Amino acid sequence: MTHWISAPLDALLERAAAFIIDAAYHAVAERGRFTLVLSGGNTPRALHRKLAEGISEQRYRELGYTLPREPRRNTANPDAITLPWAQTLFFMGDERYVPPSHPDSNYGMARETLIRHVCVKPANIHKMPTESGDPEADAQRYELLLRGLFRKHASDDAPPSFDLILLGLGDDGHTASLFPGDEKALEEQTRWVIAVDAPNGKPPGIRLTLTLPVINEAKNVLFLIPPSRHDLARAISNGEKPESPAGMVKPRSGDVWWLVEGKCEHGNS
């Protein structure tokens, strides 16, 4: 099912944070862990900070969520509910092929805006490897990591089912590092992680990315969209641009959430 929510930025961040927190506690109750895939670019920065800060118990309830039995709280603000960090596993949806210290690194951005501000186990942080000089080998290395973490049996070849994947949207309709015109990447059916050349990326260059079969196994996919891409997001969410990479995001048994910054608060499915 597709859901559309448009609201001013502060309200949108509260809605996104509350939804992610609720999904996290349900995942931990059911499976003992919450698997969260982060996106890159500039748009997620504010959401990362909101997740680190948490959301007030009152606002959490106002948005229709039931308080977890033992919620984790922000130590600096005990009224704020945060994710169960000890049971949260972080992954990256895509990554520019640069070192983590590089200004263009998606992981570097996530580390500075979220990870370094919360109490998460180092073993639960799974960044994409980008420093061997061999992007294809690094893509295979990350895929092997995912297979080790998600396969129940050695013979199981089904893609992982992440609890929640955060995605962005480019002006050209790309998402993660799946770009229009890259038919090989868009038609990939067996690989979970691939290396791609993104000449139209910002900046252009080699990237690693999760593939559509993995994205479409997610329990929830959440697009976070700036106001400048409202019309494009609306067209894609309405099914008007099925050929765009973002239009190909159709979880097999999960939901897609379009959270779009706008002037008025409204939502529908």
pLDDT tens-digit series, residues 162-177: 999 999 999 999 999 9
Residues in the chain: 269
- Measured CA distances, 257 to 74, 120, 122, 207, 221 (Å): 26, 26, 29, 25, 6
pLDDT score recorded for residue 264? 62
Q: Is the pLDDT of residue 212 over 70?
A: yes
140 in Cβ contact with 193 (< 8 Å)? yes
User: What is the third-level CATH fold of 7-264?
Assistant: Rossmann fold (3.40.50)
Q: Is the pLDDT of residue 198 over 70?
A: yes
Enter the pTM of the model. Answer: 0.94
* Residue 241: both structure tokens together: 């641009």
pLDDT tens-digit series, residues 102-128: 999 999 999 999 999 999 999 999 999
Q: Is the pLDDT of residue 22 over 70?
A: yes
176 in Cβ contact with 61 (< 8 Å)? no
